[in-house]
Structure 1
Amino acid sequence: MRCRAVFLDGGGVIVLPHGDLVRAALSGMGITIDASLVPRAHYWAVRQIDRVLADSAPIVYLRTFCRALGVPPRRIEDAIRALSHLADRSRSGEILWSQATPQAVETIKALRSAGIAVVVVTNSDGHAAENLRDAGVCQTTPGPGATVTDIVDSGRVGSEKPDTGIFTIALERAGVEPEAVVHVGDMVSTDVIGATAAGIIPVHLDPARRCRDRDHRHIRALGSIWRHVVPWDRFPRGPAAR
């Protein structure tokens, strides 16, 4: 069956915490970090959560993320408060998850040009669509970023990954069957497990190759998704080379 749609996780796949915003927020608390370490800290944090199948709630993520940034243990709670404030756009006036990942916008545009539907499937707070639009990453109508088919936000649909409900909604909106879809995510515990349960092929975005699981596919950069999309018949359902 031809690949008709690519589902993309939000955080970690098409956007990352903006390094300059993170640095500024922590600097306001007297905590100094290297903004260039933010991408690495994110992927390290989600992998640590995956390894113990821990709760991926925002507070758990932020604690692990701060440790990965090298925040001193005695300042972790201060850092969490600063980043929690930053993450609330209504209070900070900023969009924390606003740094497009490498190749994100270009890859989405190329997929759409190839006739493949692109749906963002994200665990968020109900504001994913407006934040992605205002960050210039993607939107569902013509705008500054790439145009996607739809954005399915757990905060709006009442189901979050790894529950299959959010994937079912995405399939219905895209008008495709699960066998014709791949889902790209950066977490095993939410993306890989959830997509698999929904009958969708999962592709794990793992830039640092920290995941050693051989029961699902991996890519190091979003631009490499093509090997799992075209030509579809060359890649049977199951693990593939990184």
Structure 2
Amino acid sequence: MNIHTHKRIAELVDENYAYASVLYYFGITFYDYDEKTLEQVCRERGLNVHEVIQDLEAIYEQDEDEVVGLSALPVDVIIAYLKHTHFQFIKKRLPYLSKLIHHLPTHRYPNIVEDLQFVFPLFVEDIIHHIYEEEDDFFSYVLELQSAYQANQPSSSLYLNMEKRSIQEFAIHHDIDDDEMAGIRQITNDYTTKNIDSLHLRVVYAELQKFERELCIHASVENEILFPKALMLEKQVQKIMRSKVRFN
């Protein structure tokens, strides 16, 4: 796509809402520079306009086919992929969304904006808690199972761990937490922008919808790839344990 440097920032973002996030990572908040051209803003901020354009043109949606390839990989690699996604959520996506929502002007759509500004920080707190709990409990347990299976020698600590928890319990708990964005969908009327003429709010809706898709892809990797592999691993370790007890 040919991006013209003389276009106003508002025009560019209106063409593709995803441009707003690219500009943000260059330190350009689109709503603060909306009437200036890309060339003017880059000159003001000492940025190479050609590098900015290159990143704008490189935008793409995550390819779900890439996720399918994970099914052939061992659990430690899948967990590394999921941890990297967690890092992206916590360090990039959620701070960006939080800033976008925090700076929404309230005078045009006060009810929607006030509700989002109240609910979204609670959502962020919940999802970060969920991520750390998942990494500390579920991921750690699965990696411990993998180590025991590879060594053909479950430790006593793992035996006690397996007495207290199971992959099936983790899966049930995960299903309960799966639809974290139901409240946000309700506030935004399923991200409908038909009667929304605020560019800022339309960008927020687009980014929330994109983040929900990312969460769905993330959850499908856990539910459809990691959980079945982890369940099989747990059964294999249980089998090793039974054989050890039988021969002792």
TM-score by length of 1: 0.25
Structure with the larger helix share: 2
Structure with the larger strand share: 1
